[in-house]
Structure 1
Amino acid sequence: MARKDAVCDSRINPVENNLSRWASHVFGLVAICLLSGGIGFSNAQSTNNTFLVNKKFVNQTGVPNTQVNSLAPNQTAYLEFNLFSAQAPANGNLLVNFIDNMPPGLLVDTSFAPLMTDGAGVVGGSGCSAGSGSITTTATSVTVTNVTLPNPSSTGPDCRVVIRVKPDPAAIPSTQSNVTNSVPSSQTSATGVGGPYQSDPFSATVLVYQPTEPTVSKSFQFPNIGEGAGSQLTITIRNNSTTYPLTGVNLTDALPVGLLPLASPIPTAVGCGSGAIAISGQNVSLSNGTVAVGELVLSRSPCRAVLQVPIPIPFRQTDLSLLRG
């Protein structure tokens, strides 16, 4: 099929009319003669008016979802590939292939099994299936081989391929960096009647942050206590990032010999998300905590682990300030 120039033509045939469907989904336009770029997508104009791939970073595997524009350390997002076909219904399905190599700063989360869904987010729906093909991932790439892209649907992408990605902050040159994930036409193909076809190049960009080290401090409520008395120990974790919360926070504090944490009253946590505080022997620990972003640089939301510390009988008097650290 001959490629149309960037002019409006009332004689566009039914197959070429599918381009309007692509543009309506990707860029929110009702009628269009030339596909143009939008936030989170590449500037994609199909080189053959038959096969097109776009992609974006999103917050979940299902539909509808929200575009993700930044990734903090330990955060994940989903990379969604939208596959479009303008094949005439009588010409049947396309078999799609492409390879996407992750740029420095971005890694594939290989613990997540890739999904293929229809435009509504139904896994295997509407004929969207890996079938005898495959979707394979490594830490640095995703390879789609001979997956089935069925006849065009009336709205939305015909099929979606979804993988999970995570940041690689050590690979970016500064505290934050825009990472662009691009796929050239040469790494795409679709076979079917009239083919093979290639998609135009496509890309998506996400801002990756390097980790900002938190600070930890400890203090006793009463620095000097007598025999059999107790004091309250407060451990404060401060998030020094002004941009993102700290997640997956773990901390273990081993109290020195002579101090014994009490299991009762139960240790409490303030501003630590769903993190759990536990006591085991001389150790007090926080597991999988979340420390929110502070509104002011010098007034960050603290995460406090509070427990009671009694002094055993052998100690007549103890200066607890000597035990800080």
Structure 2
Amino acid sequence: MSTRREALAMLPALLTPLLATPAARASSGAPEPVEVSQRAIELSSRSAQPTVSSKTPFAMVGLRWDGQPPEVMAVRVPGGEWTAMEPAPGTTASQPVWTGRTHEVQVRATRDGAPAIGVAAVLIDPGRSPSDAVPPTSRDRGYPVVSRAGWGADESLRCREAQFDDEVRAVALHHTAETNDYSASDSPAIVRGIYAYHAETLGWCDIGYHALVDRFGQVFEGRAGGLERPVIGAHSAGFNRRTSSIAMMGSYTGHQAGDAQRDALSGYLGWKLAAHGLDPTGETTLLSEGGGSSRHPSGTEVRLPVLLGHRDVGHTECPGDDGYALLPGLRSAAAATMSAVR
């Protein structure tokens, strides 16, 4: 083989059978698409912690606002703990938070200690599917994942077909900035809720991330178009071109990923980076398109790690302090995965 890049490009076909689990090899048929509904309710300006109720159940909540974002944002179910909410960078909305199935939540949204004006709670019902308990895993995309069909994506929510770049030069690590208190059977519904919220509330036409991994090590296909292809995502303002992404489901500041999640991340990243002939421990140059929450003005060439954190290119805490601290180990683990099959 004449070049290191060509050698790396051969690895995906070799890695895939090694990384596949028995469950992946025994995958079942895909479930039916699941309908997801959203409704927005304006928050009362008379209380700093208003209660929002709905006759129909929901399981996720996001906030959207006019003007400046609230300085403090959090949500809790009755009798539960508060879960902090983070802004979705470059938008006038928060990231959505999993609450579990409920008819009522309490919301905290304040500016200068007073109730924020012009804030609405977006209540998301991600629906339920019999396959949520054990979502089917497929290797149709080149790596053992729960495909879009597997987690019940309603493809009618997308407002355009997938768009493609000429290459992938880097992969960005994210977190979804929500609770870590969810079960393995909740994960497909969480992905459906994020998908609907990104596509409709944020106007991104699809889920922003290319892939997601839950705390149990389940890997979910994200944005449509094919995990093995250079699909243009909506995950890092100014740096969505020539990049891919994977999001850890949960919040990773003050909370560390477990072994199953770390192993799934390193396995997927080893496969994905090999698919594009990239060295996990290397560097690359990206051209900023600016705008939104980008750290770099449009037209700026930026030298970055091939495996980077969202905060490297955007004004955000993502992927959390503990998530960001994973990067050196993930680079080494992904490289070791690739070396094992050379």
> Scaled by the length of structure 2, what TM-score is found?
0.23
Q: Which structure has more strand as a fraction of its residues?
A: 1
> Scaled by the length of structure 1, what TM-score is found?
0.24
Larger radius of gyration: 1
Instruction: Considering Cα pairs closer than 8 Å and 6+ residues apart, tell me whether 1 or 2 has the greater RCO.
Output: 2
Q: Which structure has more helix as a fraction of its residues?
A: 2
